[in-house]
């Protein structure tokens, strides 16, 4: 998953709410349906578009739709969380595709942030996902929103970000040593640990071990770490990077 600092505040809040809703519903996954709820929970003042798909549908009604998950083709693939103390709900493959799509459209149109406009675009463009199925309950409204977003992205220099700030165009593609999308939207934690050899993470061994367990799985191996600013999310990843750099690769 991409590093969160390149997400604007509303996008971060949407992701945090997605995690909270997944835990509230006792789901051991975070899917596109949870992200959709997180996006719709954000204040929309100052946005150049309206994120909605059904008139007069309250958050409570949407939450109940997600709870029931009345889509037969998804029911067999969703399991309740049996862990009484879930540390890191896992993101689904479809949510990863949503985030990838959001990043790609932001990069394509030279945005230097990822906002809820990109997240909702990712939901709309991820076929056969729970979030898209919910949006398509009103196909006309869904298509109109997609058209508005496409127009917004094409003329972004005349629009503004989801924080009412005009997006900054990146430097010319012809400039030397242009950063790749990966370098632009992420941070090289390994390099940071190398540059700060005395860095240590204290009393977070259990959390780091849990992350390693999830990463070591054959399936469902995408951990997600969300929380309020300052609780130590980045420190966990830095601790993981330092631990992984000390592990010797097996011979043969």
Helix ranges, the chain (H): 9-24, 32-40, 59-68, 72-75, 93-108, 116-125, 130-135, 139-154, 181-185, 189-195, 205-215, 233-246
- What are the residues facing 30 on neighbouring strands? 91
DSSP of 33-85: HHHHHHHHTS--TT-SS---SSTT--HHHHHHHHHHT--HHHHTT--B---SS
pLDDT band at 99 (very low <50, low <70, confident <90, very high): very high
In sequence order, what are the residues at sequence separation of 6 or more whose Cβ sits closer than 8 angstroms to the Cβ of residue 193? Answer: 199, 238, 241, 242, 245
Rounded CA-CA distance 181/247 in Å is 29
Would strands 90-91 and 29-30 be described as parallel, antiparallel, or unpaired?
Answer: parallel
Can you tell me which residue has the tokens 């979030």?
Answer: 131
- Ramachandran quadrant class, 232 (left: phi over 0; alpha: psi -120 to 50; beta: rest): left
pLDDT digits (tens, 9 = 90+) for 120-157: 999 999 988 888 888 877 777 778 888 888 888 887 75
pLDDT digits (tens, 9 = 90+) for 3-54: 444 888 889 999 999 988 888 877 788 889 889 888 888 776 656 556 555 5
Which structure tokens are listed for 147? Answer: 């058209």
Q: Domain spans of the chain?
A: 4-169, 187-252
Q: Which tops the pLDDT comparison, 29 or 83?
A: 29
User: What b/e sequence results for 65-95 when a residue is b if at least 16 CB atoms lie within 10 Å of its CB, and e otherwise?
Assistant: bbeebeeeebeeeeeebeeeeeebbbbbbbb
Instruction: Flag whether pLDDT at 197 surpasses 80.
Output: no
The overall pTM is greater than 0.85: no
Give the other-Cβ count within 10 Å of 195's Cβ. 9
DSSP of 81-101: ---SS-SSPEEPHHHHHHHHH
Q: Give the pLDDT score at 145.
A: 81
Task: State the fold for domain 4-169.
Answer: Double Clp-N motif (1.10.1780)
């Amino acid at each position: 998953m991409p590093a969160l600092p390149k997400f604007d505040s509303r996008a971060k809040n949407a992701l945090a709410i997605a995690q909270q809703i997944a835990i509230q519903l006792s789901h051991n996954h975070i899917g596109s349906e949870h992200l959709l709820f997180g996006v719709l929970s954000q204040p929309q003042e100052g946005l150049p578009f309206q994120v909605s798909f059904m008139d007069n549908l309250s958050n409570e009604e949407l939450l109940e739709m997600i709870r029931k998950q009345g889509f037969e083709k998804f029911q067999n693939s969703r399991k309740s969380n049996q862990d009484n103390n879930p540390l890191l709900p896992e993101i689904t493959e479809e949510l990863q595709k949503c985030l990838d799509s959001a990043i790609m459209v932001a990069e394509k149109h030279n945005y230097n942030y990822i906002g809820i406009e990109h997240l909702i675009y990712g939901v709309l463009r991820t076929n056969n996902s729970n979030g898209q199925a919910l949006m398509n309950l009103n196909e006309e409204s869904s298509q109109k929103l997609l058209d508005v977003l496409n127009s917004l992205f094409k003329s972004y220099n005349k629009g503004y970000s989801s924080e009412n700030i005009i997006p900054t165009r990146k430097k010319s593609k012809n400039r030397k040593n242009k950063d790749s999308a990966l370098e632009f939207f992420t941070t090289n934690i390994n390099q940071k640990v190398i540059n700060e050899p005395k860095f240590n993470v204290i009393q977070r061994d259990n959390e780091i071990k849990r992350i390693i367990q999830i990463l070591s799985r054959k399936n469902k191996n995408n951990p997600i770490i969300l929380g309020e600013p300052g609780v130590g999310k980045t420190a966990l990843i830095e601790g993981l990077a330092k631990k992984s750099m000390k592990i010797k690769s097996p011979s043969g």
